[in-house]
């Protein structure tokens, strides 16, 4: 179920944030570097847990990844296979505070390949700020969506 902290904003203001988020994520899924640049701040910071345990800066990281994926005919989350994909945001939650919005969700990327449908998932937060009247993603933090190694599910 999706939820939104409405505070004093109108539903239209929240729809604007959600529409922007899907536009931004769509640019990544479609390997659209121009759309990615339109929706992402040049001083972007990221934590990509499967890439490195360190913070990444700027747009070149994703731009390189999107260009490489476009050449292979694949998209983020479906690495290694050129096949139809689907993007879903499970448990989307939006918090909006004036010109700042935070989206948190579990990203699901499903790929329909020759061996059936495979789904990759991770938890994600994106911080968006309205700059000069335009929403921009300024920070992304991703984490695994599986049980942490220090947790014993059998205990």
Closest C-alpha to 134, from 16, 29, 53, 14? 16
- Supply the range of the domain harboring residue 41: 3-144
The total of structural domains in the chain comes to 1
64 within a domain of the structure (yes/no)? yes
151 within a domain of the structure (yes/no)? no
8 within a domain of the structure (yes/no)? yes
Give the C-alpha separation, 67 to 105, whole Å. Answer: 26
pTM for the whole structure: 0.83
Q: What pLDDT, in 10s, does the model give residues 28-81? A: 988 999 999 999 999 999 998 777 778 888 888 888 888 988 888 877 766 556
155 within a domain of the structure (yes/no)? no
153 within a domain of the structure (yes/no)? no
140 within a domain of the structure (yes/no)? yes
Q: Are 55 and 140 in contact (CB under 8 A)?
A: no
CA angle 37, 40, 44 (to 5 degrees): 120
Q: What pLDDT, in 10s, does the model give residues 86-124? A: 889 999 999 999 999 999 999 998 888 888 888 888 999
Give the C-alpha separation, 13 to 27, whole Å. Answer: 21
CATH number at residue 89: 3.10.450.50
Q: What pLDDT, in 10s, does the model give residues 127-146? A: 999 999 999 999 999 988 87
154 within a domain of the structure (yes/no)? no
116 within a domain of the structure (yes/no)? yes
């Amino acid at each position: 179920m999706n939820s939104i902290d409405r505070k004093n904003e109108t539903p239209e203001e929240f729809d604007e944030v959600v529409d922007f988020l899907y536009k931004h994520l769509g640019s990544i899924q479609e390997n659209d570097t121009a759309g990615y640049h339109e929706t992402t701040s040049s001083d972007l910071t990221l934590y990509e847990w499967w890439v490195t345990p360190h913070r990444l800066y700027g747009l070149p990281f994703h731009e390189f990844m999107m260009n490489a994926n476009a050449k292979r005919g694949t998209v983020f989350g479906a690495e290694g296979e050129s096949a139809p994909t689907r993007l879903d945001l499970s448990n989307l939650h939006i918090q909006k505070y004036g010109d700042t919005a935070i989206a948190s969700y579990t990203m699901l990327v499903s790929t329909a390949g020759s061996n059936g449908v495979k789904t990759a998932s991770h938890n994600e937060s994106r911080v968006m700020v309205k700059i000069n009247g335009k929403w921009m993603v300024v920070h992304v933090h991703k984490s695994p969506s599986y049980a942490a190694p220090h947790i014993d599910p059998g205990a």
